Amino acid sequence: MSPKRIMTIYGTRPEAIKVAPIIKALEESDSFESLPVVTGQHKEMLAQVNNLFGIEPVRDLEVMTANQTLNGIVAKVVQGVDGILEEFKPDAVIVQGDTSTVMGAAVAAFNREIPVIHLEAGLRSGDINSPFPEEANRKLTTQITKLHLAPTAESKGNLLRENVAEEDIVVTGNSVIDALFTTVEKQVAFSDPKLESFLSTDQPVVLVTTHRRENLGEKMVSISRAIRHLALEHPEYRFVFPMHKNPKVRSAVLPQLEDLENVLTIEPLDYGEFTRLIGASRFVLTDSGGVQEEAPSLGKPVLVLRENTERPEAVTAGTVRLIGTDFDRIVEEATALIDDEEHFASMANAVNPYGDGQAAERTAAALKEFFGVGSRLTDFRP
């Protein structure tokens, strides 16, 4: 039997990180021909990840233009992917997560009657508007997916409650853990000498990231004010803030932080550098979804700057706390990690519920079963 042609379509850096182990597993299997396609939703960041993992996309749709609307992105993705599907005629399409690329590519594949495989299926926040538009994107994608690759048992439970057939769900663990373990071993050097110098002391480091659309404006100013207060109250700590390129993020962050000696605001980091920074940090404040999964895998407590999360497993486990964007709450929760060693240890030593580094292997096996050439492996359990 000739290898099945599997097209993996991705557009942002988080997607690239999570599909990279899957693409490498497909490349190593005689059962599949791997066809990576990028939409270019995060063009420069995509190239960084592809280079790190040695992935060469067969096509780049380059969908992004300045000041583009969400509808404009989706329209370009659907149209661009449709042409790629006609050209390559894959046997299945893999999409990952919840971006505009995911929803648009899934619709394009469905309309050509090509099976959709959804990696990281079943995440739910319970609020259609938060995160926006991701919660809607993943729910829409679920409706047209043939094989649901859920990262955790809780994600599987969400799908079952939405009447997805159990035989169509495989719990793989999250492939971000596969990517993280591989990348941490590389110990990538920092390209910014200021960052290398900033981390050269024995002072503990707090990593801060924030970029979510729902946190723009006053909420992001509140976050930045809280970081300023913490930095002034705890000069023995150093705070590193890789800033998103969105001007609305920078206009909220820089006025609060750029004059402080123990705060370093820097450009976004390559994935390899970012994983090294997580490893060098004592704890993390973030509104990112992926960082909620990555940091606990390295024993780093995470304070999540959001009102809800589609990743509740780590909250239940105790390695993540959901604290929102209120100034007083941020200061209180971060101060507890700084001052209370027992509290810090309880979060740092909690069980990571997201993966064991074998998600790509389980995914490849699930695809073999889907095409009738093998059997799935035992579902991931923490």
Local structure of 334: helix, strand or coil: helix
- 4-10 vs 32-38, strand pairing mode: parallel
Active site annotation includes 134: yes
| Whole-angstrom Cα Rg for the chain | 20
Strands annotated E in 11-115: 32-38, 59-60, 92-96
Contact call for residues 35 and 6 (beta carbons, < 8 A): yes
Active site annotation includes 326: no
Buried b (16+ CB within 10 A) or exposed e, 126-149: eeeebbebbbebbbbbbeebebbb
Active site annotation includes 148: no
Q: What does the block give as tokens for 327?
A: 């100034």
Number of H helices, E strands in the chain: 16, 13
Centre a 10 Å sphere on the Cβ of residue 380 and count the other Cβ atoms it contains: 22
* Active-site residue, from 211, 238, 311, 362: 211
Residues with Cβ < 8 Å from 330, sequence gap 6 or more? 222, 223, 226, 227, 230, 285, 303, 305, 323, 324
* Active-site residue, from 5, 112, 213, 343: 213
Query: Dihedrals φ, ψ of 259, to 5°?
Result: -100, 5
Local structure of 336: helix, strand or coil: helix
Active site annotation includes 42: no
CA distance linking residue 19 with residue 294, whole number of Å: 15
* Active-site residue, from 13, 15, 42, 134: 134
> Of 109, 77, 104, 107, nearest to 92 (Cα)?
109
* Active-site residue, from 13, 15, 42, 98: 98
> Of 192, 352, 159, nearest to 266 (Cα)?
192
H helix or E strand, kind and range, residue 71: helix 70-88
* Active-site residue, from 120, 178, 273, 287: 120
> Of 285, 249, 284, nearest to 268 (Cα)?
249
Buried b (16+ CB within 10 A) or exposed e, 327-347: eebbbebbeebbeeeeebeeb
Active site annotation includes 98: yes
Q: What does the block give as tokens for 47?
A: 């190239």
Active site annotation includes 213: yes
* Active-site residue, from 244, 250, 282, 321: 244
- List active site positions: 98, 120, 134, 211, 213, 244
